[in-house]
């Protein structure tokens, strides 16, 4: 009578499900076998004779009883084997990934070489799954034949999540201290100098620059003198910019918006909400690649939030210094909550509020 280790069947089944979600590690046959062997060496064997009539039921029962243990050991096995596969295939995979990125650069001029690989691979995996591509080279073929897929890929690579008044504490500080300080400074000036200029870098669909525009509109209407506003909103993603320019948002986008702002600054049109023209007029949208293009010069504030997280450290340092160069005297720099000043930049910015990531440009002594 033959006995079979049912645990092996269960592990194989789980492994297939888990690897379907992993494009960041090698999933070749040899690595699969290594993962299975590693996991089985840490799991109790469950032998059942193959002529046992109830094999399916027994298997199901073991699967239910042992599932959390199997999953735990499989995750450990994938991590261990995925880190150091015992063959050269990992390199082939990296090669294919590099080729894919080079092709994207050659075809579309988009250079993601200084983005974090881990983030990119996770994002690309989403599109690969959607197109049933099992390898980078297979996905490359899909891309070559579909310009539509390129658009979708950019959408996930540039990760455009945003919202109005994202991170309320930062906006409170802007409303109560930073923007009033800018207004007070401008009031001292005359004529065309009486203008607040802000650069929203990585503006996504415009939620961030419009939040600023709304706030400035309410602050400025209380003033007796006229102060102009120009918010230059830039992004690498054309689709996002077009949406921002249109200024029309669906119900989900405005669901957390303060009802006062929604009533006052948005016009309902069917199921959507259109930003009012007098606030829209404060904002100009422009395509700009932060890495290669010249920045927006002579601004009073740069707000660049939740963009750096995708860039490697040296690119982050380079960009912070670039922003420093674009800011006028005493200009403010606002970063995202999980981002921070790095390297040389720590010497050239004063901290206004470290937890809110708000800084002020320091004038360097000659």
Ligand X SMILES: C[S@@+](CC[C@H](N)C(=O)[O-])C[C@H]1O[C@@H](n2cnc3c(N)ncnc32)[C@H](O)[C@@H]1O
Q: How far is the CB of 36 from ligand X (least distance, A)?
A: 38
124 forms part of the interface with ligand X (CB under 6 A): no
Q: Which listed residue (123, 186, 305, 357) binds ligand X by CB under 6 A? A: 305
Residues 325-354 that bind ligand X (CB under 6 A): 336
295 forms part of the interface with ligand X (CB under 6 A): no
Q: How far apart are the first and last CA of the chain?
A: 89
Cβ closest to ligand X, residue 9 vs residue 155: 155
235 forms part of the interface with ligand X (CB under 6 A): yes
289 forms part of the interface with ligand X (CB under 6 A): yes
CA distance 229 to 216: 8
Closest CA to 11 of 31, 42, 39, 48: 39
Cβ closest to ligand X, residue 158 vs residue 316: 158
Cβ closest to ligand X, residue 14 vs residue 318: 318
Cβ closest to ligand X, residue 34 vs residue 237: 237
197 forms part of the interface with ligand X (CB under 6 A): no
Segment interacting with ligand X (CB under 6 A) among 58-66, 230-238, 249-257, 326-334? 230-238
Residue span 156-175 as binding mask against ligand X, x where in contact by CB under 6 A, dash where not: --xxxxx---x---------
Q: How far is the CB of 207 from ligand X (least distance, A)?
A: 6
The answer to whether 349 touches 341, Cβ cutoff 8 Å, is yes
Sign of CA dihedral 146, 149, 151, 157: negative
Residues 91-120 that bind ligand X (CB under 6 A): none
Q: How far is the CB of 294 from ligand X (least distance, A)?
A: 12
CA distance 173 to 176: 5
CA distance 210 to 203: 10
CA distance 62 to 85: 30
Q: Are strands 47-49 and 3-5 parallel, antiparallel or unpaired?
A: antiparallel
The answer to whether 235 touches 203, Cβ cutoff 8 Å, is yes
236 forms part of the interface with ligand X (CB under 6 A): yes
Q: Determine the Cα angle at 317 with ends 311 and 319, to 5°.
A: 75
Q: How far is the CB of 75 from ligand X (least distance, A)?
A: 28
Cβ closest to ligand X, residue 82 vs residue 336: 336
300 forms part of the interface with ligand X (CB under 6 A): no
Cβ closest to ligand X, residue 14 vs residue 171: 171
The single residue listed with the structure tokens 């929203």 is 200
Provide DSSP, 183-246.
Answer: HHHHHTS-GGG-EEEEEEES-TTTHHHHHHHHHHHHHHTT-SS--EEEEEEEES-HHHHHHHHH
240 forms part of the interface with ligand X (CB under 6 A): yes
Q: How far is the CB of 115 from ligand X (least distance, A)?
A: 7
The answer to whether 342 touches 323, Cβ cutoff 8 Å, is no
Q: How far is the CB of 237 from ligand X (least distance, A)?
A: 4
The answer to whether 30 touches 93, Cβ cutoff 8 Å, is no
Segment interacting with ligand X (CB under 6 A) among 142-150, 284-292, 340-348, 358-366? 284-292
- Contacting positions for ligand X (CB under 6 A): 158-162, 166, 202-204, 208, 235-237, 240, 289-291, 305-307, 336
């Amino acid at each position: 009578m033959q006995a079979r280790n049912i645990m092996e069947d269960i592990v194989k089944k789980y492994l297939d499900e888990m690897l379907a979600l992993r494009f960041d590690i090698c999933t070749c046959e040899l690595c699969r076998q290594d993962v299975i062997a590693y996991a089985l060496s840490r799991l109790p064997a469950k032998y059942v004779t193959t002529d046992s009539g109830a094999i399916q039921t027994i298997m199901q029962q073991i699967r239910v009883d042992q599932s959390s243990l199997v999953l735990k050991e499989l995750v450990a096995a994938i991590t261990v084997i995925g880190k150091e596969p015992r063959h050269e295939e990992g390199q082939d995979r990296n090669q294919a990934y590099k080729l894919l990125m080079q092709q994207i650069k050659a075809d579309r001029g988009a250079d993601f070489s200084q983005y974090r690989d881990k983030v990119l691979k996770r994002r690309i995996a989403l599109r690969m799954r959607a197109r049933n591509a099992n390898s980078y080279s297979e996905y490359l073929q899909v891309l070559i034949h579909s310009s539509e897929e390129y658009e979708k890929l950019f959408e996930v690579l540039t990760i455009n999540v945003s919202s109005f008044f994202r991170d309320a504490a930062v906006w409170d500080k802007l409303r109560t201290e930073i923007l009033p300080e800018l207004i007070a400074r401008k009031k001292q000036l005359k004529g065309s100098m009486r203008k607040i200029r802000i650069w929203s870098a990585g503006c996504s669909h415009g939620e961030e620059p419009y939040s600023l525009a709304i706030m400035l509109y309410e602050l400025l209407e209380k003033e007796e003198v006229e102060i102009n506003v120009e918010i230059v909103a830039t992004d690498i993603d054309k689709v996002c910019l077009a949406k921002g320019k249109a200024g029309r948002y669906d119900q989900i986008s405005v669901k957390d918006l303060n009802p006062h702002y929604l009533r006052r600054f948005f016009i309902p049109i069917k199921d959507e909400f259109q930003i009012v023209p007098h606030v829209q007029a404060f904002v100009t949208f422009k395509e700009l690649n932060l890495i290669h293009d010249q920045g927006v010069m002579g601004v009073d504030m740069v707000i660049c939030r939740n963009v750096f997280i995708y860039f490697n450290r040296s690119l982050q340092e380079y960009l912070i210094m670039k922003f420093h160069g674009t800011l006028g005297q005493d200009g403010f720099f606002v970063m995202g909550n999980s981002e921070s000043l790095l390297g040389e930049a720590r010497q050239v910015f004063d901290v206004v509020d470290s937890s809110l990531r708000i800084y002020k440009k320091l004038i360097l002594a000659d």
